[in-house]
Amino acid sequence: MHRYLPMIRLLTGLFIGLTCWACHDPNVVYKENADIEDGKWFVKNTPTFRFQITDASQPYDIYYTLRNNLTYPYYNLYLTRYLTDERGKELESRLDELILMDPKTGKPRGKGLGDLYDNKVLMKRAYRFPKPGTYAFRIKQYMRQDPLPDVVSVGISVEKAQ
């Protein structure tokens, strides 16, 4: 058994490596999520996501990524987003509404397992950054309830537009 151990380790490593490679989407430039402590999103908690853009001629699709519990009390979520460049200059700010559940049936729109649901909602389609460099999105919940319950994580995904 001991003489086969190096071969087993090698094959296990190759399997894990190939599995990770197969799951990687080459169009994803940046993807990050921030966990919301105890599932209670306070207004003062504004996650910031910094990322590098190397090709400003390429259009990008930018998505919100959100994980919520099935017990989230609303069908929607209002978020304010702030986009800044590497000098901290605000390029844009905007209020967005994310529809997380069907308003009539209450059925979740995201992909779920048990009582957790993942939502990927388009924020900007075919956006062109002004120039290569470092950018940041800051996201703030804009609901009337503070803290907002049952939000597990929030994030963004920057992907090359197809």
Distance, CA of 55 to CA of 30 (rounded, Å): 13
pLDDT at 11 over 80: no
The structure tokens 């910094």 sit at 50
Q: What is the pLDDT of residue 8?
A: 55
Quote the pLDDT of residue 20: 45
pTM assigned to the model: 0.83
Distance CA 28, CA 58 (A): 13
Q: What is the pLDDT of residues 57-86, one digit of tens each?
A: 999 999 999 999 999 999 999 999 999 999
**Per-residue tokens: 121:** 């909602």
Q: What is the mean pLDDT of residues 126-151?
A: 97
CB 56 within 8 A of CB 135: no
Instruction: Report which listed range, 15-19, 57-61, 112-116, is most confident.
Output: 57-61
| All domains of the chain in start order, with CATH | 29-160 (2.60.120.380)
> What is the spatial distance between Cα 64 and Cα 47, in angstroms, rounded to a whole number?
12
Pair type for strands 76-84 and 133-141: antiparallel
Counting Cβ atoms within 10 Å, is residue 13 exposed (0-12), middle (13-18) or buried (19+)? exposed
DSSP 8-state secondary structure symbol assigned to residue 24: -
Please give the Cα distance from 66 to 35 (Å, whole number): 10
Beta bridge partners of 52: 134
Assess whether pLDDT exceeds 80 at residue 21: no
Identify the band that residue 14 occupies on the pLDDT scale cut at 50, 70 and 90.
Answer: very low
Q: Where does the chain have alpha helices with state H?
A: 5-23
